[in-house]
Amino acid sequence: MRDLKSRSETDSGIELEGFSRPNGEAHTELPGDYPYTRGIQPTMYRGRLWTMRQYAGFGSAAETNRRFKYLLAHGQTGLSVAFDLPTQMGLDSDHALAAGEVGKVGVAIDTLHDMETVFEGIPLDKVSTSMTINATAAILLAMYIAVAKKQGLSPLVINGTVQNDILKEYIARGLYIYPPRFSLRLVTDVFGYCLENAPNWNTISISGYHIREAGSTAVQELAFTFANAITYVEAALDSGLNIDSFSPRLSFFFDTHNDFLEEISKFRAARRIWAKIARERFGAKNPKSWMLRFHAQTAGSSLTAQQPDNNVVRVAIQALAAVLGGAQSLHTNSKDEALAIPTEEAARLALRTQQIIAYESGATNTVDPVGGSYAIETLTEEMEAQVGQLLEKIDGFGGMLPAIESGWVQSQIQEAAYRYQRSVEEKQRIIVGVNQFQTDEEQKIPIHISDPELEAAQVENLSKTRTGRIVSAARGALERLENAARSSENLMPYILEAVEAYATVGEISDVFRRVHGEYREALTI
């Protein structure tokens, strides 16, 4: 029986129903009903709040471990790991191309030893962990599983998400290594492996966030994200998986930007669009396959170096839009991120922003509180229609891979970014403190300073790990991995074996480079 009759009170003592029907009218679609416009659960936040999952990771594994423990102590309910660029690109910290980037925008992970340090003293059966990693996602997930095993845990009990969305790297972010088709194989190998070995793990977070951060519109963000999702589903089906065996573990990741009403409507439209894709296009029978579960992050591209205190207000508005739109988890950016890695104080304030919305604003007291608003309902319908038009255009290319390879998707994002920047420069769009309401005084705030000795220390630790491991075990595991990469076998068991033998991220990635090569994007004008 649905809990739609439970009540909450406003500060004035006015009782609120779990779901408020405008003017007392009955709706044919209720929260928790297909296609989930009003939320994927009947009670939404009245039953359970979203996961407050602050993205963190910088410098060494030990520094990241301290930051995680700090955030958990202040009420964070889920971990989210940021990796440095060399780790994301499959390069060890002592590689020539890694120079100057080790530990700068995330934590440096070279071997299982680093991952063990990141999660030292953090029981993996008690936390949910998200890892923002794509080209090397299978390797980092294998390391996480290996850490769980070292803690005496079965992979069956761990839960979290690995981003594992490589297609958006080709169109928006650029952190790809291998050709798209081999990259898709790695994605679906993770699907297949986790189905049997880590069934509570979300095997992909299909990400519109980076598409939006690259300059797309909200409509493009949804359309290109769902076109990517369709490609992943088709690849998984081609590999022999059943739609209802993996679709319930798909998750999504969206930006929550400045246009308050459009962002709320975007999230409501997204649930409706995905439900119809899963059920009508792919014939999924399990209702969990139809439910779009998504993480949201406030817009990093909206943060300004000028008057950084203003970013606190921007983040609060964006976070509220995600909550009113029904997010399952949320990251709120820190006010200093246009300048540096967040300080502890700035990260705490960003977390407090979520907590104030959750516990003080009243926004969680009723389900779909904006439902019935003429503006919201109209925008929701219009966004669904425009996204559908873009998806039809992509189908006309023969799918997302041909659309990416032709450069069309990238050009659409570039044009949208150009239009946005022109509107700012011509003051058609006001950015407070940037093109209007400036001050002569420079606002100075504390910023995080990276340890200049970090890179040398990380390289030394990597050397010690290489020296201390059983060389024959690592070499043998890498040889077996290379043989598997030349076949059609699922690669995850071989990656896990290599990781447990303390093979490095770079060594494992180099195996795939030798077998499948590196991707170079064609120039488009």
Span 338-365, pLDDT tens digits: 998 889 899 999 999 999 999 999 999 9
Average pLDDT over residues 145-164: 96
Q: Phi, psi at residue 107, to the nearest 5°? A: -80, 140
C-alpha to C-alpha distance for 178 and 182, rounded to whole angstroms:
7
Quote the pLDDT of residue 1: 31
CB 392 within 8 A of CB 384: no
Residue 396: is its pLDDT beyond 80?
yes
Query: E strand or H helix at 161, and its extent?
Result: strand 159-162
SS3 507: helix
Find, among 443, 449, 255, 444, the residue nearest to 341 by Cα: 449
Q: Which two tokens stand for residue 322?
A: 């995600």
Band the pLDDT of 415: cuts 50, 70, 90: very high
C-alpha to C-alpha distance for 137 and 169, rounded to whole angstroms:
13
Q: Phi, psi at residue 329, to the nearest 5°? A: -155, 160
Domain spans of the chain, in order of start: 32-425
C-alpha to C-alpha distance for 351 and 298, rounded to whole angstroms:
12
CB 190 within 8 A of CB 165: no
CB 391 within 8 A of CB 397: no
Calculate the alpha carbon distances from 465 to 113, 460, 462, 507 in Å: 8, 9, 5, 13
CB 108 within 8 A of CB 118: no
Residue 3: is its pLDDT beyond 50?
no
Calculate the alpha carbon distances from 197 to 111, 145, 246 in Å: 22, 10, 13
Any idea which architecture 32-425 has in CATH? Alpha-Beta Barrel (3.20)
Band the pLDDT of 2: cuts 50, 70, 90: very low
Query: E strand or H helix at 331, and its extent?
Result: strand 329-331
302-307 long-range contacts (CB < 8 A, ≥24 apart) are 302/257, 302/258, 303/333, 303/335, 303/337, 303/338, 304/338, 304/431, 304/433, 304/434, 305/338, 305/339, 306/433, 306/434, 306/438, 306/443, 307/432, 307/433, 307/439, 307/443
Average pLDDT over residues 153-181: 95
Buried b (16+ CB within 10 A) or exposed e, 420-432: eeeeeeeeeeebe
Span 215-248, pLDDT tens digits: 999 999 999 999 999 999 999 999 999 999 999 9
Q: What is the DSSP letter of 281?
A: I
Peptide bond into 287 cis (omega under 30): no
354-363 long-range contacts (CB < 8 A, ≥24 apart) are 354/52, 354/319, 354/330, 355/52, 355/75, 356/316, 357/316, 357/319, 357/320, 357/323, 358/45, 358/49, 358/50, 358/52, 358/323, 361/320, 362/10, 362/11, 363/45, 363/320, 363/323, 363/324
Span 76-131, pLDDT tens digits: 878 889 999 999 999 999 999 999 999 988 999 999 999 999 999 999 999 999 99
Quote the pLDDT of residue 441: 78
Find, among 70, 36, 64, 17, the residue nearest to 347 by Cα: 70
C-alpha to C-alpha distance for 279 and 129, rounded to whole angstroms:
29
Quote the pLDDT of residue 241: 94
CB 299 within 8 A of CB 255: yes
C-alpha to C-alpha distance for 430 and 423, rounded to whole angstroms:
9
Specify the range with the lowest mean pLDDT, choosing from 79-83, 160-164, 477-481, 512-516: 79-83
- Within 102-197, where are the H helices? 112-118, 137-150, 167-168, 180-197
SS3 15: strand
Give the CA angle between residues 199, 202, 206 to the nearest 5°. 150
